[in-house]
Structure 1
Amino acid sequence: MSGKVVKVSGPLVVATGLSDANMSDVVRVGPQRLIGEILTMNGDSASIQVYEETSGLGPGAEVETTGYPMSVELGPGMIEGIYDGIQRPLEKIVEKVGACITRGVEVPALDHEKKWEFTAVVEPGAKVTGGDIIGTVPETPVVLHKVMVPPYLSGTITKIQSGSFTVLEPVATLRKEDGSEVELTMAQKWPVRTGRPYQHKYPPVRPLCSGQRVIDTMFPIAKGGTAAVPGPFGSGKTVVQHQLAKWSDVDIVIYIGCGERGNEMTDVLREFPELKDPRTGESLMKRTVLIANTSDMPVAAREASVYTGITIAEYFRDMGYDVAVIADSTSRWAEALREMSGRLEEMPGEEGYPAYLASRLAQFYERAGSVECIGSDDRRGSLTAVGAVSPPGGDLSEPVSQATMRIVKVFWALDAQLAYKRHFPAINWLNSYSLYLDSLKPWFDENLGKEFMANRAAAMKLLQSEASLNEIVQLVGKDALSPADQLTLEAARMVREDFLQQNAFVDVDGFSSYDRQEKLLSLILNYDALCRAAIAKGAPAAKLFDIPAREKIGRAKSVEVDEYAQAYAAIETEMEQEINAIVDEGGEDQ
């Protein structure tokens, strides 16, 4: 089916003669066969979003519809790959046409020539349904790719064999209930705007350990949860997202660079192959897929990039893996929506964004979750979605931030002032929140003890008290405060500098396990409790702040990983002795 272009307006093309086409169909436009997607239909006239530069395209150019919606090709070979926003492999494109990508280039998403070692896990005669695993492929040293029956098929396996195959060669034959037979390959396609099915969605009850103390202890996110990282330019959104991608205890990471600067994707590409996964000892790239649609790439493709990324994530979730989707940033994605909405001459909403902005954001985040996968083996998988928001000037009252806040359960508000003070992660502890604390409390109580949540609450109380006392200090000075209030300021400073602040360039401090976090926070709060008891007995606050153990607490986060438990116990013993000595000395003076 083909039609003709009648109007070109940037990435929006209007064509006629497409009466047999459908909404969301992928089309090829003009002699260069530019890829596009039908946004709206009116009779035989279609408005097409073209994902490539349209300069030189004019009325009369031919439009050919493929008859299929925008889809991704799923199968072995995606891990370690870098794709553009519509799943074209950038490395293969460079091999084919060079560093400057030509328009209309067609390269399959998966390598159709490479052979993979397929190991069958079912026998002929087995009854299978959509989602059942029929074989495995060792895709990387850390990812075992599970080849599944497509969700819409069920029946009996009549033929299956292990061996070396390409992704398009049949590995099994399935007889459907109507008696017809279908050949199954290792590759399958799925439309990006349709969520993959699951049996049941569960409330998230396990935390996602990121190794970042301010996140894991203060504002945790659950596996299968949603989070937003808003902040102005230079506040460290990308730093936080890189840390999450590096250290989160998930099996697969999908990193979507949506409209951000190309050098940030370059950093990921250079760093990840060199970094060792703390869980497996292998390169982090061995469990990562990158979707790159940077600020110098076509704006129209930004809108598709987040759907491409989350569909790939759902595919790995269906294998029973824990997957994290890192989108940087949803503000740039919303700008692409605004541009296309304006060219379609739709009624604008607030600040020119389309009226359906909030519902599109909700459609993206609702695809996260902890689910029971389809199939007959009770697999559980999770998909955690973390999106950066880049409000102009850090103004959180703008539409994208407000719509995101209504949807996500965790809000890590970044603060430019903290970033300028070199306090990273620059997450403001007074403006951030996590709505998963209640659902995660049973896990924390069981695995870290009931003191963990009590210590978290005590640390937050100290930080909030410090904010109130700082207003008084600015008026009358620190020396005018009572010894107890001076201790509050000192303890809060220790929580900020010795616990919340981390150095990503120091291996020991870049990642902190839950057990280490619990012990370090307990050490700081025990110091606060002992000092309060000593002040109540008349000990001078200045002496308590100058004890040698105080300096050792400040350096505790730099203790080697295999020595921290003994080191923290030794510091605590020394601290008690020094504070008791000051109390005894005060009693003798009296």
Structure 2
Amino acid sequence: MEGKIIGVNGPVVKAQGMKGFKMREMVTVGNKKLIGEVIILEEDLATIQVYEETGGLKIGEAVVSTGSPLSLKLGPGILGNIFDGIERPLEKINSISTGFIPEGIGLISLDEEKIWDTNVIAKVGDNLRAGDVYATIQETPTILHKLMVPSEMHGNVVAVKESGSYNIETVIVTLDNGEKVHELKLYQQWPVRTPRPVRERKTIFKPLITGQRVIDIFFPIAKGGTCAIPGGFGTGKTMTQHQLAKWSDADIIVYIGCGERGNEMTEVLEDFPKLIDPRTGLALMNRTVLIANTSNMPVAAREASIYTGITLAEYFRDMGYHVAIMADSTSRWAEALREISGRLEEMPAEEGYPAYLPSRLAEFYERAGYVETLNGNEGSVTVIGAVSPAGGDFSEPVTQNTKRFVSAFLGLDKKLAYARHYPAINWLSSYSGYINLLKDWYQENIAEDIIELRAKMLKILYEEDKLSEIVKLVGEDVLPDDQRLVMEVAKCLKVAFLQQNAYHDLDTYVPLEKQYKMLKVIESFYDEGNKAVKIGTPISVIIDKNIMESLYKMKYNVPNDDFSIIDELDKDINHHFNEIIRKYK
């Protein structure tokens, strides 16, 4: 089938003679065979969004059908790779055309010539259903790639290759279900806008352990959950996501640089391949996929990039892995939606964004989840989206609509960032809706009182915020001693616990048990201090310089595998207050 171009408006192309085409069908546009997708059909007229630069397209050039929607090749060769927004490998493109993506290069994807050592599991006579594993490939030293029967296929194995070395186009297994014969290669194709099916969506019950104290204890993210990290320029969104990518206990990381500045993405692309996976001591890229779609790339490809990322994440989830997807940032993606919507002459909603912005955000975040896969394994996709509100204004539409669909909200604060308090997560505006769901896990695996301890420490921080307004007006000296103690303990919480140094060997990642013990020793100081205040002890005596210094330094002094220093500090605190009670009672 073939249509003709009748109009070009940036990435939006209008064509006629399109009666036999389908909605969401992928097409090639013009003599350069640019990749596009049909987004509106009206009788024989169609509107197409093009994923490449449309400069040079002429009226009358052909639009040709491919017969399928925009789809990804899912198979070995994804991990450790760097793709653009529609899964074209940037390193391979760079070897063809140095420095830029040439127009009309086509939808090249996984390397079709690379040979993979394949362990074939299926045998002749086996009855295979959707999701069953028919072969495995050790794709990287840390990840076993499981080749699964696509969801629309089933049947008896009538032919199978022996284990050996093959490229991805080799037919490994042939299925016959009596009606149709299916040939299974080393990859499958899947339309990016369609969620991959699962057997059952399960209740969330495990946290995504990040090693970041303010997240793990105060505002936890769940495996299979959703999280937004909004913040203005310079507040540390990208750095926070880098820390989560490196240290979280997800099996696989999918990082989407969606509409970010070129120099930021360059930094990511240069840094990630050098990072060492703390769990294995090998390269972090062995379990990472990077999708780079910078702000100077075509906006339509930016709009597709988050669907590409979530589809790759779902594919690895179906193998039984826990996947974390970092989208940096969904604001740039929303801006791409706004630009395409404007060119389509759609009625704008708030601040020019299209009226369907909330539903598109919902479609993206709802593809997260903790599931039982078609082959009976458990897997999850955790979605962590950065939001870049202009001027740090959280009341703008993207941030507000994102809040409706996520359960963890880590608001980054410009004042904290300017005060060099990182991560700059504001404990007053942030929240996590996963506390009740994760409560049992925390109590079973860390401590019975950890949820109550968290609530108690947050209460101290809230009280300190109220008291700081009075202090600004009249000074701290007018406060009674119990309130001055709250101010001191809150300061200790901020500096010794909530502030974390990503560049310090001990402080960059902190195990949960150490986090709990650190918080517990601060609580011990607060409780004993309150007892001392009640018997009339001056605050100047309660606040012992050496103890406070030890509390502030414990994050740098206590090894992650030996907490005896914290136990000793707890004994020092008890001794200090026993002496006070003996003297003042």
Q: Which category of TM-score, normalised to the shorter sequence, fits these structures?
A: over 0.9
- After superposition, where does 1:33-112 map in structure 2 within 5 Å? 33-106=33-106, 108-112=108-112
Aligned residue type for 1:162: S
* Corresponding position: 1:155 with 2:166: no
Instruction: Summarize the Cα distance change of 1:563–1:547 in structure 2 as closer, same or farther, 3 Å threshold.
Output: farther
- After superposition, where does 1:346-425 map in structure 2 within 5 Å? 346-375=346-375, 378-425=376-423
Question: Retained in 2: the 8 A contact 1:162–1:171?
Answer: no
Which residue among 416, 437, 440 is the counterpart of 1:439? 437
Which residue among 576, 579, 584 is the counterpart of 1:578? 576
Which residue among 565, 569, 578 is the counterpart of 2:567? 569
Q: What is the CA-CA distance between 1:398 and the residue it aligns to?
A: 1.4
Q: Which residue of 2 aligns with 1:244?
A: 244
Question: Retained in 1: the 8 A contact 2:14–2:47?
Answer: yes
Partner Cα separation in structure 2 for residue 35 and residue 247 of structure 1: 37
Partner Cα separation in structure 2 for residue 564 and residue 455 of structure 1: 22
Instruction: Summarize the Cα distance change of 1:108–1:55 in structure 2 as closer, same or farther, 3 Å threshold.
Output: closer
* Corresponding position: 1:165 with 2:163: no
* Corresponding position: 1:208 with 2:208: yes
Question: Retained in 2: the 8 A contact 1:246–1:272?
Answer: no
* Corresponding position: 1:517 with 2:518: no
Partner Cα separation in structure 1 for residue 46 and residue 497 of structure 2: 57
Q: Deviations over 1:471-510 (max 9, x none)?
A: 1111221011111111100001111110010000112101
- After superposition, where does 1:335-350 map in structure 2 within 5 Å? 335-350=335-350
Instruction: Summarize the Cα distance change of 1:476–1:71 in structure 2 as closer, same or farther, 3 Å threshold.
Output: same
Question: Retained in 2: the 8 A contact 1:72–1:308?
Answer: yes
Q: What is the CA-CA distance between 1:107 and the residue it aligns to?
A: 5.5
TM-score with structure 2 setting the length: 0.98
Which residue among 522, 534, 537 is the counterpart of 1:536? 534
Q: How well do the aligned residues superpose, as a CA RMSD in angstroms?
A: 1.3
Partner Cα separation in structure 1 for residue 53 and residue 126 of structure 2: 50
Question: Retained in 1: the 8 A contact 2:200–2:372?
Answer: yes
Aligned residue type for 2:109: A
Which residue among 504, 507, 510 is the counterpart of 1:506? 504
Partner Cα separation in structure 2 for residue 562 and residue 103 of structure 1: 51
Question: Retained in 2: the 8 A contact 1:154–1:177?
Answer: no
Question: Retained in 2: the 8 A contact 1:258–1:294?
Answer: yes
Question: Retained in 2: the 8 A contact 1:547–1:578?
Answer: no
Q: Which residue of 2 aligns with 1:135?
A: 135
Question: Retained in 1: the 8 A contact 2:324–2:382?
Answer: yes
Question: Retained in 2: the 8 A contact 1:523–1:572?
Answer: yes
Q: Which residue of 2 aligns with 1:334?
A: 334
Q: Which residue of 2 aligns with 1:269?
A: 269
Aligned residue type for 2:181: E
Partner Cα separation in structure 2 for residue 303 and residue 319 of structure 1: 27
Query: SS where residue 556 of structure 1 aligns?
Result: helix
Q: Which residue of 1 aligns with 2:18?
A: 18
Q: Which residue of 2 aligns with 1:472?
A: 470
Gaps of 5+ in 1: none
Q: Which residue of 1 aligns with 2:233?
A: 233
Question: Retained in 2: the 8 A contact 1:16–1:45?
Answer: yes
Q: What is the CA-CA distance between 1:177 and the residue it aligns to?
A: 3.7
Aligned residue type for 2:475: G
Q: What is the CA-CA distance between 1:222 and the residue it aligns to?
A: 0.6
TM-score with structure 1 setting the length: 0.97
Aligned residue type for 1:170: V
Q: What is the CA-CA distance between 1:526 and the residue it aligns to?
A: 0.8
Q: Deviations over 1:252-287 (max 9, x none)?
A: 110001101122222222222322222222221110
Q: What is the CA-CA distance between 1:384 and the residue it aligns to?
A: 0.5
Question: Retained in 2: the 8 A contact 1:93–1:107?
Answer: no
Q: Deviations over 1:121-171 (max 9, x none)?
A: 233222111111111100001111001011111111233321111111011
Q: Deviations over 1:501-545 (max 9, x none)?
A: 000011210111111111111111111111111222232211221
Q: Which residue of 1 aligns with 2:551?
A: 553
Could you tell which deviates more after superposition, 67-76 or 99-108?
99-108
Q: What is the CA-CA distance between 1:12 and the residue it aligns to?
A: 0.6
Q: What is the CA-CA distance between 1:566 and the residue it aligns to?
A: 0.9
Q: Deviations over 1:328-379 (max 9, x none)?
A: 111111111111111111111111111111001100011000011012xx20
Partner Cα separation in structure 2 for residue 537 and residue 281 of structure 1: 54
Q: Deviations over 1:91-146 (max 9, x none)?
A: 00001111122111136211100111111223322211111111110000111100
Aligned residue type for 1:201: R
Query: SS where residue 110 of structure 1 aligns?
Result: coil
The percentage of counterpart residues that share the same residue type is 51
* Corresponding position: 1:310 with 2:287: no
Could you tell which deviates more after superposition, 269-278 or 305-314?
269-278
Q: Which residue of 2 aligns with 1:428?
A: 426
Partner Cα separation in structure 2 for residue 276 and residue 425 of structure 1: 21
Partner Cα separation in structure 2 for residue 269 and residue 12 of structure 1: 30
Q: What is the CA-CA distance between 1:176 and the residue it aligns to?
A: 1.6
Q: Deviations over 1:424-453 (max 9, x none)?
A: 110100001111101100101111111111
Partner Cα separation in structure 1 for residue 178 and residue 451 of structure 2: 54
Partner Cα separation in structure 2 for residue 540 and residue 351 of structure 1: 56
Query: SS where residue 339 of structure 2 aligns?
Result: helix
Could you tell which deviates more after superposition, 339-348 or 432-441?
339-348
Q: Deviations over 1:4-40 (max 9, x none)?
A: 1111111111011121111111111112111111110
Q: What is the CA-CA distance between 1:562 and the residue it aligns to?
A: 4.5
Aligned residue type for 2:79: I
Aligned residue type for 1:432: S
Aligned residue type for 1:199: R
Query: SS where residue 272 of structure 1 aligns?
Result: helix
Question: Retained in 2: the 8 A contact 1:92–1:107?
Answer: no
Question: Retained in 2: the 8 A contact 1:80–1:289?
Answer: yes
Aligned residue type for 2:189: K
Partner Cα separation in structure 1 for residue 108 and residue 252 of structure 2: 22
Gaps of 5+ in 2: none
Aligned residue type for 2:173: A
Aligned residue type for 2:12: L
Query: SS where residue 493 of structure 2 aligns?
Result: helix
Q: Which residue of 1 aligns with 2:199?
A: 199
Query: SS where residue 274 of structure 2 aligns?
Result: coil
